[in-house]
Structures are given as C-alpha cells and as structure tokens.
Structure 1
Amino acid sequence: MNVLLLDDEPLELEQLEYLLQTEFPLWKYYKAQNACQAQSICQNIDIQLAFLDINLPGKSGLEFGEELRKINKDVEIIMVTACQDFSYALQSIRIGVIDYLTKPVIENELLKILAKYKDSHLSHRYSALIQNSLFAIHDRFTEKISLSEIASAVHVNPTYLSRKFHEEVGVSFSEYLIQFRIQAAKRLLLENPSWSISVVAENSGFSSQNYFSTLFRKIEGMSPKDFREEKNKHKIP
C-alpha cells in the first residue's frame, strides 16, 4: 500500500507517520509539505490512500484532493484539518472523501479508521490463508514463534506457507515478523520511558537485548536509546 501524507507542519507529518507505521509496518509512506511536492510524488507513485491537510500554503488540500481524484479515481482520501467548517465537509463529500479527521489527531479515532481499512485491505489484498497467518502473527508476536508454528495454526505445510507468504506479502515470514516487532518496539520505547531497553526487547518478542539493538540500528539507523531521546525531543503534546 502506497500512502501519501500531506501536511505543512513537519511534526504533524512525523506523528501521523508514526501512528500509521505502528499498525501497518509494511506500507510505504510518502510525505509532502505542500501540494506541489505531493503532485510530484503522485506523478511517480501509484498512491492508494492519501491523508490530506486542508489548510496549506498555496493550493489547499481540498483543491489538491480534487485534482488527485481526477487522475486516480480509485484513491482513498482522508481529510485532516484543525478547522470545523461545514463548507469543508461539503467539498469533501463532493470529491469523494471517505473519512474526516480533526487536529490534533487523536490516536483512538485514527485507529478506528485504520481498523476499517485493515479489514478491507486484507480481504482484498490477501487470501484467507495469509490473512489468518497475519492475524496469528499480530496476536503472538511477543512469543517465540516460528513459521512452522504459524503453519500449524493455519493448518498448512510450512514450505507451502513460506512460498505463499512471500508471493502475497512481498517479504519473507521472518522479515515481516522482524519489521512488525521493530514497529512495536518503537511504540513501547516512546510510551514507556521508564522501561529499560532490555524490557522493551522482551515485550517486543526479541530473544535478547543485543540482538534487538543490532537489528534496530540496522533498520532505523540509530540505537533504541538514541531513537527514544530523539523522538522525545520533538514529541507532540
């Protein structure tokens, strides 16, 4: 899934990306701070879901959304705004906006919307076998799980599941599990500042702190400690 995030406030962009990545670690996110940047992205990337801030310098998010809809009639658009103006709602309906979020984005409200899309996109994108496998991974990622155990849970041969998983998801079972655990760890690092790195690692499903820290640095480009300190410096209240 290719997702466009359009907002002229960098911290808002970062917060929204973080919330989305936590739930959907394998989606690809493209960020823009104005309509011109967003247009450039959409010329090269097939965007399937767009979060558009309404109040932007220059062309508004609604104006851009109308243009985006003309070139990509299947894109799903969610408007994000700090203003509660009925005229905005009317324009949003006219261009086929499917949801509307007010700033500051409340996590619970965003997750309700994401839950709808999660069920929808899983059913359209993945077979029942892979859907059930992903649900099992999401439910048991803190445990010491293997491909064989997930295969047993969904009643198929591990070799067959491995092949189908890579075909449909685009990465291997182990790669997906690592990415999902890393995203969970990022969330725990920020939500539990008193937790040690070892405790975060354990609650994210990693077998050791050293292994966790090595993978985290490889994927995120910094240590878990540095990630926590960097994000807390720019934390949105």
Structure 2
Amino acid sequence: MNILLVDDEPLELEQLEYLILQKFPTWKIFKAQDASIALQIAKEHDIFLAFLDIQMPGKTGLELAKEFSGLYSMDIIMVTAYQNFEYVQTSLRIGVVDYITKPIIEEELIAILGRYERLGRYSEPIVNALKIIHQEYSEKLTLNYLASKIHINSAYLSRKFNEEVGMGFSEYLNDFRLKEAQKMLIDFPNLSISSISERCGFNSQHYFSQIFRKVTGLSPRDYRLRETFH
C-alpha cells in the first residue's frame, strides 16, 4: 500500500515514517516537503492514504487536500498542531477522513492506521466501498448509492460486504460514525451533541443518542463527562 506524507519539517516526516513502518513494514512510504512535490508523487504513484500537514508555506494542507479529492481516490488524514474546529469543518467538507494532532502520539496514530490493517485482505470492490464510507460518512449514504459509485450490483455488494467485512453495510456505517462521534465528543467539548450527531451523519439526535447508549452503555453527554475527567 502506497502512503504519502507531506510536511515542510523533515524531522516530522522522519518521525511519522518511522512510526508507520514500525507497525506496517511492508507499506511503501513517499515523502514530500511541499504541495508541488506531493502532487507530482500522486501523479506518478497510486497513493492509497495521505497524511497532510495543515500549516505549510505556499499551498496549505487543506488546499492540497481539496485538490487531491478532486483528482484522486485516496484517503486523506490532516496533521495539525492546533485543535481548531474550523479546520475540522473544512476537512469534512472536502472529504478528509480523519485528523491527528502534533506532537503525534504513537497510540493515536496506530488507532487510525488500524482501519487499514485488513485492507490487504479485501477484494477491490470492498476496498473502494470502504474508502467511500470513510470519506462520505457524514452524508446520507445508502447501499444503492455505494454500489452505483463503484459500478457493481447492490445485492452483490451487500453479500460481499457481509462475507469479507464480517458485518452488514448499515452496521459498519453506524459503527464508523459512532467511532468518529466518540472522538469528536472528546476533542471538541464545546460542540453540542446535536451538532456532532449531524456532522457524523445521523438523521436525528434522538436516534444518535439511542444507538450511542446501546453500544457504549452511556449517553453521549455522560460519555463526554467520563472521558474528560477520566
């Protein structure tokens, strides 16, 4: 799997490369210190996952992410020294799947990369389906929409999803949305439960709270309180 790391600080690039290869030594890492080099690498290689630093001279990481999203099908993770919700809002709008803050904590990085650990064992349609879910989970996703995006029959996709992922499309989507919501509840304590519910793609706050309690045993508010003062 080809991974692209973009940061204007060489030491940051080396640290990120080291942490990734410790866990996934067979992944191929490409590094760039500015957007122009990153764009050239993406043009020449099939990049699956990109880590982009937000604060870079010239074209910012967010501008580069927007350009990548328009040109290629890759998962993008933003790297930032600031926990700024405006960055997250912009990131979600342009299809960024996650963000991680500096200084990078190894456990947090491995948790994010864990999603990709099994991708080598999935067929191409399932890999493509998962990439769309990770990028568009905040939207109203349906199995039919997913099947049309990757040009296969929806019944076939449903069967393959169950066989390979071990759960149905809806169950996986809800599980992914809940994990994103859990992260957002902690990272943005001033953001309302209603806003988090909406940004994670749930139809209503009531349904979000209901399914959140079923999975975690706590309401979103109680979960936030517990994790904040843990």
TM-score by length of 1: 0.51
SS of equivalent to 1:205? coil
Aligned to 2:132: 136
2:119 aligned with 1:122, yes or no?
yes
CA distance in 1, matches of 2:203, 2:146: 18
In structure 2, the CA distance between the partners of 1:107 and 1:178, relative to structure 1 (3 Å rule), is: farther
Aligned to 2:180: 184
Show CA shifts across 1:60-117 (max 9, x none): xxxxxxxxxxxxxxxxxxxxxxxxxxxxxxxxxxxxxxxxxxxxx9645456556766
Partner AA of 1:185 in structure 2? A
In structure 2, the CA distance between the partners of 1:195 and 1:134, relative to structure 1 (3 Å rule), is: same
Q: CA deviation at 1:121?
A: 3.0
Aligned to 2:209: 213
For the pair shown, the structure with the greater C-alpha radius of gyration is 1
CA distance in 2, matches of 1:218, 1:117: 24
After TM superposition, the structure 1 = structure 2 runs for residues 60-139 of structure 1, keeping only pairs within 5 Å, are 107=104, 109-110=106-107, 119=116, 121-123=118-120, 125-139=121-135
SS of equivalent to 1:207? coil
CA-based RMSD of the aligned residues comes to 2.1
List gaps (5 residues or longer) in structure 2.
1-101
Alignment equivalent of 2:158, drawn from 162, 165, 168:
162
Aligned to 2:98: none
Show CA shifts across 1:127-172 (max 9, x none): 1110110001000000011001111111101100000000000000
Higher relative contact order (CA 8 A, sep 6+): 1
In structure 2, the CA distance between the partners of 1:114 and 1:228, relative to structure 1 (3 Å rule), is: closer
In structure 2, the CA distance between the partners of 1:212 and 1:128, relative to structure 1 (3 Å rule), is: same
Partner AA of 1:122 in structure 2? L
Aligned to 2:44: none
Aligned to 1:227: 223
In structure 2, the CA distance between the partners of 1:183 and 1:115, relative to structure 1 (3 Å rule), is: closer
Q: CA deviation at 1:207?
A: 1.0
SS of equivalent to 2:118? helix
SS of equivalent to 2:163? helix
SS of equivalent to 2:181? helix
List gaps (5 residues or longer) in structure 1.
1-104
Partner AA of 2:119 in structure 1? L
CA distance in 1, matches of 2:223, 2:143: 30
In structure 2, the CA distance between the partners of 1:178 and 1:159, relative to structure 1 (3 Å rule), is: same
TM-score by length of 2: 0.52
Partner AA of 1:232 in structure 2? T
